[in-house]
A = this chain, B = another copy of it.
Amino acid sequence: MDLTHLYERAKKAGRGLLQWPVERVNEVLRAVADEAVARTEYILAENARDLARMSPDNPLYDRLKLTAERIQGIASDTRHVAELPSPLGRVLKHTVLPNGLDLKRVSVPFGVIGVIYEARPNVTFDVFSLCLKAGSACVLKGGRDADCSNRAIVEVIHGVLERFGMNPDTLTLLPADREATASLLQARGYVDLLIPRGGRSLIDYVRDNARIPVIETGAGVCHTYFDAGGDLRKGTAIVNNAKTRRVSVCNALDSLLVHESRLADLPALCAPLAESRVRIYADAPALAALDGHYPADLLEAAMDEHYGTEFMDYKMAVRTVASLDEALAHIARFGSGHSECIVTEDAEAAARFQQMVDAACVYVNAPTSFTDGAQFGLGAEIGISTQKLHARGPMALEEITTYKWLVRGDGQVRPK
């Protein structure tokens, strides 16, 4: 499928955005928020057509469903993006060289950002408003399940863009099929950055086939290590929050590592999990320690495959380690580079854990559930990067900008 004409138009729209002052962009965002609310009935009617094609038993149903209240929430998020400081025009470095050349490294838009996502129509609003605020046009490829909702949302946004005289190609929604995904991966020279949001297989497919720069988001196999020097009260709260706050998110706890000297504390550490009916897969020493203290119907011997699994469910693996180094080796082997935590009062152990763990977010005495753009004070989030290039961990407005070097001289030349 040749969608080049769409990419060309998006590129032109992205270029046009360079001349829009941030105040006007914020006005557009506020108007989009107002219009989303004003057109609630229309959006819900189109959403109902999508819902009619999905069984309410499908776990995706709830993510697909919009309500008047959810549209209020979306509008409020969009207004919030309008209030955030602009990520553009920041002077990241400024030097005057001995020869008088004035050198500035300044944040600028990418140009065109592509996002591939699944059945969540709210993402259409989110991605549009973050990309626009970051000065880029966006090319979206949504899920087929949400296509009526997405088309309605895009129509509503386009109406606002036209009213403000902004090029409607600032927001492009591709056809909701696999051919469009394949085409987007090849949009070299048009799409400057591609962010896939979705399941493992989508992200793997995108990374392996893209000819344009990609930021991987996604899988979080997250560990919490209860160290020899861990405080039991803090540990109990941290483990419970990391595991049960929301099990379906990437920052949720998957494997608890416990120092062998603290096995006697394991029942207390895990006690609150029983209330949420968390199934525990424990190695032999941990199993022995929990036996009789944790509901027997929720307790199983761990198999190899439980380590390194992102459960996305009320399930957790437990492994006993003999030392901090063994915990570090386990995390290096099974972690996905997302979020890892140590519970300890031992400053040296904490420092070594933060130094040695290679992950986007490394916690001491706080649960991995905090890994989130809004929680980190970034004001928003377009995804959580699990790669090391460009952005790591929660990505918000700054992370979806690039920079250029602005050099001013007065006729200086470089010696031979």
Contact = CB atoms under 8 A, between A and B. Distances in A.
Given A388-B402, A416-B245, A208 B211 contact: yes
A405 B364 contact: no
Contact of A407 (B193, B215, B370, B414): B370
A361 B389 CA distance: 21
Interface in A271-301: none
Contacts of A389: 192-193, 213, 215, 389-390, 402
A193 B414 contact: no
B377 A241 contact: no
Given A101-B370, A365-B411, A366-B101, A405 B376 contact: yes
A327 to B, nearest CB: 14
A51 to B, nearest CB: 26
Interface stretch (A34-42, A151-159, A229-237, A313-321): A229-237
Contacts of A215: 389
21 contacts: A15-B358, A103-B377, A108-B358, A111-B358, A208-B211, A234-B410, A359-B404, A361-B404, A361-B407, A362-B405, A362-B406, A363-B408, A364-B407, A364-B408, A366-B409, A366-B410, A370-B407, A388-B402, A389-B389, A389-B402, A390-B390
Interface in A186-217: 192-193, 207-208, 211, 213, 215
Contacts of A52: none
A18 interface: yes
Given A19-B355, A364-B408, A366-B409, 19 more contacts: A15-B356, A15-B358, A97-B375, A103-B376, A103-B377, A193-B389, A207-B211, A234-B411, A237-B413, A238-B413, A240-B413, A364-B406, A364-B407, A365-B408, A365-B410, A366-B407, A389-B402, A392-B405, A393-B405
Contacts of A111: 358, 388
A369 B414 contact: yes
Closest A-B pairs by Cβ, 10 of them = A366-B409, A234-B411, A241-B413, A390-B390, A388-B402, A213-B389, A361-B405, A369-B414, A363-B407, A365-B409
A404 B213 contact: no
Contacts of A108: 358
A360 interface: yes
Interface residues on A, range: 35 or more
A367 B416 CA distance: 13
A332 B389 CA distance: 26
Contacts of A360: 404-405
A392 B293 CA distance: 57
Interface in A10-38: 15, 18-19
A61 interface: no
A371 to B, nearest CB: 8
A181 to B, nearest CB: 17
B213 A388 contact: yes
